[in-house]
Amino acid sequence: MRNKVVEKWDALLFLCLTQAHWREYILIYLALHNFSDRFQLENIAAAVETDLNALRDNYEQVGETAAEILLDAIASGIIAYCCQVSEIGKLLPGALYVHVSALSHLHPLLRLSEGYARRTFNRIDGANIIKFNIEQPTKISYLFYPEFDTDAHPALHASIQVDIQNRSISDRDYSTSDNPPILHRKETFVIPSYPYYEEFANLTRQEEELRLLNKTSSIGTLRGWLQCLENYGIEIQGHQIIRLAPISPFQLPKIERHKAAIIRKNISRPVRLAMEADLFNQDTTFFDYGCGHGSDIIHISEKGYTSAGWDPYYSPDTPLTPADIVNIGYVINVIERTDERREALIKAWELTGKVLIVAALVLIDDRETGQVAYGDGVITRRHTFQKYYQQEELKTYIDQVLSVDSVPVALGIYFVFRDESLAETYRASRFRSRATTPRVRANIKRFEDYQEMLAPLMTFVTERGRLPVKSEVAELEGLRAEFGNFRRAFQVILQATDQKEWDAIAHKRRLDLLVYLALSKFARSHKSKHITSEIRNDIKGLFDTYEEAWEMAEEMLFSLGDPGVIANCCQQSVVGCTTGFKHAPLFPSSFLVHISAFSELDPLLRLYEGCANRTIGRLDGATLIKFYTNQPKISYLFYPEFDAEPHPILHTSMQIDLRDLSVRHKNYKKINDPPILHRKESLVTPDYPNYKKFVRLTQQEENWGLLDDPSAIKNLKGWQHILEKNCAEIKNYRLYWRKDADPYQIKLVQSYRKKRQKTKANYSGSILDLIQSDLSPNPTPTRGGE
């Protein structure tokens, strides 16, 4: 009976002309609609009907047949058999457990069974683990683990059991239980491409090495698991194991702070960011407080700046010298005593003339076993102390100790300005969009006579969007004297250039200023005290009144409270990619844009990103910015080979949850099958250096059919498999036949491509969204990560 059921299903598949990937979706869709009493043939969606016209048989007959197959499968035990041989999910003696994100990878009969259960009893939202009962295949349970992604061993909050045969439903609430069931080996519930698969698997490996999972009968509930951890002297923080060691109050551990110092071949990241921000000028002096081996002092001296440094171990005799820029980089996190930590920060601030650079470790890196909890940090195996801050915790600490409003620059790095007006100038510069000086279009003698003198004025108007005020720019005073005022001088410029281009620049600068003013609402004092004269002149030159500018900025800020605003801005954006199944299945319900195109975004998107950037800072070297359109989160993605590689690998991601400003960092460096990018041209503007290369490659890949199944190519191994299957290789952003490819295989690929072109008109792909919404609960992970 079992073989006949399987044969019957396989035979039905061959009735479809569409790709195999779509056949199963179509049949499951038909079967579920056939079960529905309300289903009427004439009411079938037009989008689905278009795809079903590709079937050789009448689709009503196909639907009935598929529905009959499910009944036969349950009665014959084939459902139980599919569970037992499934390569997806966690198989236990009596049931198969699968995360909702992996449902689409199950055998179609299992998907059909689960889809019918959910369709019969309406959509069951919130459940993230599905339990297929092997002994009673008519029963399917929906389990609610709301902390599945964030908790290493999440507790069960509730369960719903559906009986397909009896059309009954029962539920149980565990939310108030003090000893609920918990999960182990979370990686077994998901597929390898799940965002946190490696993190889950790494934790399981550590637990297996410590034999924590051996006593399965006693660790399945919260109490038993906590007792097990206590017995082994272990604590789990995030998804990392921390060994706890008893510390006698009479025998404190010896902390060797100097061992935390690193010998650097290059300038440290905090100081490099200060140089990139143009904080150093010709006469700048530099002092490194806690300089360690003195690497930064050497590098800064080599660049021609006066520099010195002090360290309690390596340079204890160097005098503490005031300087324009003082660096206290990765010092406060190695001091175990809170009073000394505070004192070090204050001393560094007392030496600061203009800018203090503060850097500390934040909670992003994996903590290996062998660390001992001590005070508010951990002691490493090298006997060094490390205090791991949360990013927002670090800013709060700096601000409270120094009574300042520190500026986040990158993860764990802050600038503290002695002059708050300089801080505002720096903040404003970070939100200024790109603009190009309009091209000279006409040969006007008067303009040509003064072109060299007028050039600085053109540059100023391009940068500020307005004319300068009297005595604002010293180098322009000669021009003002020649023409009488700047307005007359600019009239000469307008004779040789396009007025509309200057108007566009003014509009762009007006929007830049609104973004800056809106973000200034987060500061403790924002209206007048710290606004620089330059920005005041901008407001006066670009708005009718000072009050109007602030009111418009406030309206922009408040508009972000509407969840639909961001989604709409993403959908309407002329640059960037609003992701979906076709273009970027790795990032569902999101919008991706290259960092180079950020200034071209709608000002509301720039303001939204600024809410995270102003408090947390960006990921250093970020390549892409990801806006979530269905939840208040932003991610920064680092693709170091974005330009060099046609399909670059994701290296690092940092996600910020705007609800609580929590930061989630993930390193993909050691992941065996990392995510990759496709269709890069959709992420940049047409003037991007490699834009034409990106477009040409994508067109080739589309013509070859390599992008037809996005879910199969979102990771490196899947893409390599598709290239190999199609006898293809990429060189210099062009597709070629592989030289070692089998000639017969090439003929098969060519034949398939011709057939694909013929059937392409009948295949719109529109069925997927409808089917997925009908069949699948939302598989998007509930926490950060990529």
- Residues 304-335 have pLDDT tens digits of 999 999 998 888 889 999 999 999 988 888 77
651 in a structural domain: yes
Tokens, residue 95: 């049931």
Co-location of 411 and 522 in the same domain: no
Give the C-alpha separation, 324 to 309, whole Å.
13
Question: Beta partners for 636?
Answer: 625, 654
Query: Which CA distances in Å does 569 have to 237, 414, 559, 572, 592?
Result: 38, 30, 12, 5, 12
Cβ neighbours, 10 Å, residue 525: 11
3-state SS of 129-144? Answer: EEEEECCCCCEEEEEE
Contact 422, 354 (CB under 8 A): yes
Pairing of strands 652-657, 633-638: antiparallel
Contact 603, 577 (CB under 8 A): no
Length of the chain: 786
Q: What angle do CA 735, 668, 590 make, to 5 degrees?
A: 75
Give the C-alpha separation, 568 to 605, whole Å.
10
In three-state secondary structure terms, 375 is coil
Angle between helices 78-85 and 108-120 (to 10 degrees): 120
Co-location of 283 and 335 in the same domain: yes
Cβ neighbours, 10 Å, residue 174: 16
468 in a structural domain: yes
Torsion of CA 384, 388, 394, 396, to 10 degrees: -110
Give the C-alpha separation, 229 to 758, whole Å.
62
What CATH number does the domain containing 304 carry? 3.40.50.150
Contact 450, 496 (CB under 8 A): no
Distance, first Cα to last Cα, the chain: 44
Contact 474, 481 (CB under 8 A): no
Co-location of 282 and 410 in the same domain: yes
Contact 168, 178 (CB under 8 A): no
Co-location of 614 and 723 in the same domain: yes
Instruction: For residue 134, give the amino acid letter.
Output: I
The string of DSSP letters for 569-581 reads HHHH-SSSEE--T
- The conformational region for residue 785 under phi > 0 = left, psi -120 to 50 = alpha, else beta, is left
Co-location of 291 and 390 in the same domain: yes
The string of DSSP letters for 365-415 reads SPPPSS-EEETTEEE-TTS-EE-PBPHHHHHHHHHHHHTS--EEEETTEEE
According to DSSP, residue 104 is labeled: G
| Helix residue ranges per DSSP H, 371-430 | 391-402, 420-429
Q: Which domain holds residue 324?
A: 257-367+383-418
Residues 6+ apart with CB under 8 A from 631: none
Tokens, residue 754: 């011709």
Quick one: pLDDT at residue 426? 87
Co-location of 473 and 391 in the same domain: no
Q: Exposure pattern of 108-140 as b/e (b: 16+ CB <10 Å)?
A: bbbbbbbbbbbeebeebeebbbbbbbbeebbbb
Co-location of 616 and 506 in the same domain: no
500 in a structural domain: yes
281 in a structural domain: yes
677 in a structural domain: yes
Pairing of strands 234-237, 158-163: unpaired
Give the C-alpha separation, 488 to 700, whole Å.
54
Angle between helices 603-615 and 546-559 (to 10 degrees): 80
Quick one: pLDDT at residue 377? 39
Contact 361, 329 (CB under 8 A): no
Instruction: For residue 784, report the phi and psi dihedrals to the nearest 5 degrees.
Output: -70, -175
Best CA proximity match to 97, nearest among 74, 118, 77, 114? 114
| Helix residue ranges per DSSP H, 77-126 | 78-85, 108-120
What pLDDT, in 10s, does the model give residues 598-622? 989 999 999 999 888 877 778 778 9
Co-location of 539 and 634 in the same domain: no
Co-location of 541 and 582 in the same domain: no
198 in a structural domain: no
Co-location of 409 and 287 in the same domain: yes
Co-location of 657 and 732 in the same domain: yes
pTM of the full predicted structure? Answer: 0.61
Contact 219, 259 (CB under 8 A): no
Quick one: pLDDT at residue 684? 95
According to DSSP, residue 524 is labeled: S
Quick one: pLDDT at residue 243? 65
According to DSSP, residue 679 is labeled: -
Quick one: pLDDT at residue 60? 54
Best CA proximity match to 581, nearest among 783, 779, 784? 779
What pLDDT, in 10s, does the model give residues 95-127? 999 999 998 888 877 887 888 787 766 657 788
CA 342 centroid distance within chain? 34
- The conformational region for residue 290 under phi > 0 = left, psi -120 to 50 = alpha, else beta, is left
Co-location of 266 and 397 in the same domain: yes
According to DSSP, residue 522 is labeled: T
Give me the residues of the chain with pLDDT under 50, please.
1-2, 6-23, 32-52, 54-57, 59, 245-261, 364-385, 524-525, 527, 581-588, 761, 763-786
In three-state secondary structure terms, 652 is strand
464 in a structural domain: yes
Query: Which CA distances in Å does 545 have to 67, 536, 616?
Result: 69, 11, 32
Count of structural domains, the chain = 3
680 in a structural domain: yes
3-state SS of 657-672? Answer: ECCCCEEEEEECCCCC
